[in-house]
Amino acid sequence: MANKGIMYIDGQRVPFDGEPNVLSVIRKAGIEMPTFCYYSDLSVYGACRMCVVEDERGKIETSCSMKPRDGLSIRTNTARLLKHRRMILELLLASHNCSCTTCEKSGDCRLQELAMRFGVRKVRFGDSREESQLDDSSPAVVRDPSKCILCGDCVRMCGETIGMDIIDFAQRGYNMRVSPAFGRTLSQTHCISCGQCAAVCPTGAITIYNQIGKAWRAIHDPKVRTVVQIAPAVRVAVGEAFGLPAGTNVLDQLVTALKYMGIDEIYDTTFGADFTTIEESEEFLARLEAGGPFPMFTSCCPAWVKYLEMENPKYLKHISTCKSPMEMFASIVRKHYQEKDAQDGKTTFHIAIMPCTAKKMEAARPQFQHEGKPDVDLVLTTQEIINMIKESGIQLPQLDLEAPDLPFGLGSGAGTIYGTTGGVAEAVVRHCMPDKSRNTLRALEYSPLRGNESIREATIPVGDREIKLAVVHGLNNAQKLLKEIDEGTAYYDLIEVMTCPNGCVGGAGQPYGLKAKKQARSAGLYATDRSAPFKRAEYNPGVTSILQKLTHEQRHELLHVSYQK
C-alpha cells in the first residue's frame, strides 16, 4: 500500500501519496530544495547535507533520507538552516577549483548556481587543495578531480544504472577522491564511454570531451566540404536550451541554424537508420531460417558493443553485424563524395551530431577507418551544437524552417523513433511483419515495445512463427537479462539494448534532464513518427534506390562490420 497522508511544509498543507522521501514532497509543494547528491533516478546518498529541514522540535535532518509521515510538520528555510547551507557551500567552495569563468560547466554548474542563490560572496578559508591530475585519456569525457565535490552522483550512476563500476571513492576523510581503481586513467579501465557520469555531475569535475574547436576549423576552411548528419534524439532536445518545452521537434530550425553557421550539406541520420532497419531485419530473417544464433542483439549502441567486447565477449557472435545508423550513413556519404572530392579538389569533413558521448569512441574505432581516415571525422554532442549555435548568436526558435538536404535528408518514421528505447525493435518489427496495413502499426503503438519499464517483452507473430522480443534500457538491466539467458531462465529471439536510461533521448550528450524530460523527448519522437509521410524503412525511396544499385559485396562492405576478434 502506498504511503499516504498530509504533511505541513512551512505551514502549507501538502498531501503526499507514495513519494519516496520528504524532499520530493517539498518539491511537489513548489519549493526548490537545494541538493547536490540527490538525483531522483538514483539511490539516496545523503552526503551533501544541503537539503536539511527542521522539525517542530528544532531537530535538523536531511529531507532526502526522511520518509514522509502523516502529520509531519517541517520548516525548510529557518535562519539556522540558511546559515548551515551557506556554511556548507563555503566549505565546498574552499576546496573547489573556482576557475569558473573558463570552466566547461560555467553557467550550468549547480555549485555556482547555489552559491549565487545563497549569496556566498566570500570564502573565509584558505585554499589548501592538493594538486590533482586532469584525466583526458577517454575519448568521451574529461575528468578534473580539482572540481569534484564528492557528491557521488557519478559513482552511483556508473554502478547502479550502468552496472560498470568504473569509478568509485578511493581513500578516506579529507583525502577521499573519486577515481578509477588503483588511480588508473579512464582509458586503462573498461569504461564504455557512455558518459552518464558527466550527465549527472553537478560541477565541472566530469565534462564531455569538447571538440567545438575542431568543428569550427573545418567549417571555416574553404577547402573543406562539411557534411553533417543529425541524429533523431537531437532534434527533440536542442530546443530546451532555447526555452522550448522538451520534446519539441526543431529539426528544421536546426538545419537553418547550421546553414547560417556555414555548414555545406545537412543530412538526417534517420536516412541511415532506414538502412539499418532493412539490413538488420534481413539479417534477423536469415537467422530465423538458419536457426540462430539467438538471441540477436541490436548493434546501434556503441557503449553496449564496447561492453560486450570488454566484459562478455562470448555474446559478440550474437550481436547484429549491422553497423550503427551513424556509421552506415557515413559509409554511404564517403562513397557518394569520393568522386565529387576528386572532381572539385575539396575534402569532405563528416560531422555527426549525436546525443551520445560513446559515438565519439565509436567514430575512432579501427573498424570505421578507411585509408587512415575515419568515416565520421567528428562527433559533436547535442550540448556542443547548442553551444555553437549560442556562440553564433543565432536565436533558434525565431528561424525559418528548412528541410535537410537531399539526397540523404529524408528518413521514415521508423528511423525517427530510433532515438528512444524500443524504437529500433519497433522499426525492425514494422519491416518484418508481412501485414503492412495501418492497423498493424496502430497495434504496435500499444504493444510493450513502447513504454518506460526498464525491461519490456513482446511476442509478435512473423510468418508462421511467434518471435520473442525484449527491449532493455540502462546497461545494468541488460546485464540482468544476460544473466538470465546464461542461466537458461529466459529466451528471446531479438533483444534491443540501449545503455542510457530511456535510450538515446537520455544520452549523456543531451542537455541535463530528469526522467520526465527524457519521456517528453520520446513522446516528441513518436509524434514526429505519427506525422511522417512514410513510416516504414522500405518505403524510403532514397534508401531502396541505393540498395538496388549495390552489389552483395558492396552492401556487405559498406553496411556491415565484425566486432569479433
Partner 1 sequence: MGTTLREVIFDIGGGIKDGKKFKAVQIGGPSGGCLTEEHLDMPMDFDSLKKVGAMIGSGGLVVMDEDTCMVEVARFFMNFTQNESCGKCVPCREGTRRMLEILTRIVNNEGSLEDLDLLEDLSSTITETALCGLGQSACKPVQSTLKYFRNEYLAHVVDKHCPHCNGRKKVLQIDPELCKGCGKCMRQCPMEAISGQIRMPHVIDTEKCIKCGACWGCCPFGAIREE
Give contact residues for partner 1 (rule: CB under 8 A). 46-49, 52, 60, 80, 83-84, 87-88, 91-92, 94-95, 124-126, 128, 149-150, 169, 171-176
Task: Pick the closer one to partner 1 by CB: 27 or 85.
Answer: 85
User: CB-based contacts of 556: which residues, under 8 Å, 6+ apart?
Assistant: none
Nearest distance from residue 80's CB to partner 1, in Å?
7
Q: Smallest gap, in angstroms, from Cβ of residue 40 to partner 1?
A: 20
Output 49 or 184, the one with its CB closest to partner 1.
Answer: 49
Secondary structure in 3-state letters for 288-302 = HHHCCCCCEECCCCH
In the complex, minimum distance from the CB of residue 64 to partner 1, in angstroms, rounded to a whole number: 12
Of the CA atoms within 13 Å of residue 40, those in its CB half-sphere come to: 14
Q: Least distance (Å) from partner 1 to the CB of residue 169? A: 8
In the bound complex, what is the minimum distance in angstroms from residue 554's beta carbon to partner 1? 58
Residue 168 beta carbon to partner 1: minimum distance, rounded to whole angstroms: 13
- Residue among 229, 243, 144 nearest 411 (CA): 229
Q: Nearer to partner 1 by C-beta: 180 or 247?
A: 180
Q: How far is the CB of 156 from partner 1 (least distance, A)?
A: 13
Nearer to partner 1, 60 or 310 (CB): 60
CB nearer to partner 1: pick between 52 and 444: 52
| Pairwise CA distance, residues 272 & 270, whole Å | 5
Nearer to partner 1, 128 or 489 (CB): 128
CB of 564 within 8 A of CB of 317?
Answer: yes
Strands 347-354 and 378-381: parallel
User: Would you say 24 or 35 has its CB closer to partner 1?
Assistant: 35
Closest CB to partner 1 among 125 and 512? 125
DSSP string, 224-261: EEEEEEE-HHHHTTGGGGGTPPTT---HHHHHHHHHHH
Write a three-state SS string for 122-142.
CCCCCCCCCCCCCECCCCCEE
CA 199 – CA 220 distance, rounded (Å): 30
CA angle in degrees (0–180, nearest 5) for 246-252-257: 95
The minimum distance between CB 461 and partner 1, in angstroms, equals 53
Instruction: Say if residue 435 is exposed, middle or buried (CB neighbours under 10 Å; 0-12, 13-18, 19+).
Output: exposed
d(CA 269, CA 252): 14
Name the β-bridge partners of 472: 455, 497
